Every structure is written in C-alpha cells, then in structure tokens.
C-alpha cells in the first residue's frame, strides 16, 4: 500500500494530530480501517493505540481511498474526544437502561391487575 499525505494539522484544542492521506493499493478490496491505521502509524511513527481512523472514502473505479485519521497525545484525551470511546460509553449506558425496562413493564402490569 502506498500512502501520500495530503494534509497534516496539529489541533491543539483537542490535543491531536489530524491527518488526511490518499492510500493507493493493489488488489480487489479496500483495506480495512485497521490495516490503514497500521500503515500510517508505521509511516509517521505514531502510537497505534492512540490513533483512530475517522473516515475511509473509496474512489470509485480506482484502487485508492481518501482516509482521515486522528492521532491523540494520550489515552485520556482520546477517551474524551474520540468517537469510538463515546459510542462504547453510549452502548454501555443503553445496555443498562434496556436491562431495567422489562422489570418496569412487569411492575406496571402487576399494578394494573390490582
């Protein structure tokens, strides 16, 4: 896979580096986000656990993709600002909320019967 960096920006407010690049590859399928993350981390000497692939846009008819990656300065800021961390927190909260719903329905039915 060949990587050509199109822009690299330091975002001091979010304590991260925002990188956009064009990935050119051979083969029939688009590389996964994990493969893209590994390649950009090798090229720019970034820490893989602090790097998150935000977007992969396939160029139709070509073996290339436009990719956006965020690399954070530490785990704490990644947990606060990363989409993955927020999504997993929401899913955890939703799982506990849905677990209590059947109990509430059963209580409501019992009250109606009385």
Q: How far is 84 from 82, CA to CA, in rounded Å?
A: 5
Question: How confident is residue 61, by pLDDT bands cut at 50, 70 and 90?
Answer: confident
**Chain mean position to CA 86:** 10
CB 69 within 8 A of CB 54: yes
Instruction: Tell me the mean pLDDT in the region 4-16.
Output: 93
Q: In this structure, is residue 45 part of a structural domain? A: yes
Is the model more confident about 29 or about 51?
51
The 10s digit of each residue's pLDDT in 81-100 is 877 655 555 565 554 444 44
Eight-class DSSP state of 8: E
CATH number at residue 6: 3.30.70.330
Secondary structure tally for the chain: helices H, strands E: 3, 4
Q: In this structure, is residue 101 part of a structural domain? A: no
Instruction: Tell me the mean pLDDT in the region 67-87.
Output: 83
Full-model pTM: 0.69
Q: Work out the mean pLDDT of the chain and round it to a whole number.
A: 81
DSSP string, 44-97: HT--GGGEEEEEEEEPTTSSEEEEEEEEESSHHHHHHH-HHHHHHHHHHHHHHH
- Side-chain half-sphere exposure of 27, counting CA atoms within 13 A: 10
Q: Residue 47 sits in which domain range? A: 2-81
Look at the chain and report how many structural domains it folds into: 1
Q: How far is 40 from 91, CA to CA, in rounded Å?
A: 29
Q: In this structure, is residue 107 part of a structural domain? A: no
Question: How confident is residue 28, by pLDDT bands cut at 50, 70 and 90?
Answer: confident
Q: In this structure, is residue 25 part of a structural domain? A: yes
pLDDT at 43 over 80: yes
Q: How far is 53 from 35, CA to CA, in rounded Å?
A: 10
Instruction: Tell me the mean pLDDT in the region 73-88.
Output: 77
């Amino acid at each position: 896979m060949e990587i050509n960096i199109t822009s690299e920006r330091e975002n001091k407010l979010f304590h991260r580096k925002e990188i956009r690049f064009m990935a050119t590859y051979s083969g029939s399928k688009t590389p996964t986000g994990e493969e893209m993350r590994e390649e950009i981390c090798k090229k720019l000497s970034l820490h893989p656990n602090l790097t998150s692939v935000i977007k992969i846009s396939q160029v139709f008819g070509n073996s290339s993709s436009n990719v956006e990656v965020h690399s954070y300065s530490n785990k704490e800021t990644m947990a606060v600002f990363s989409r993955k961390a927020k999504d997993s927190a929401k899913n955890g909260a939703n799982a506990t909320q849905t677990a209590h719903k059947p109990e509430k329905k059963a209580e409501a039915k019992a009250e109606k019967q009385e």
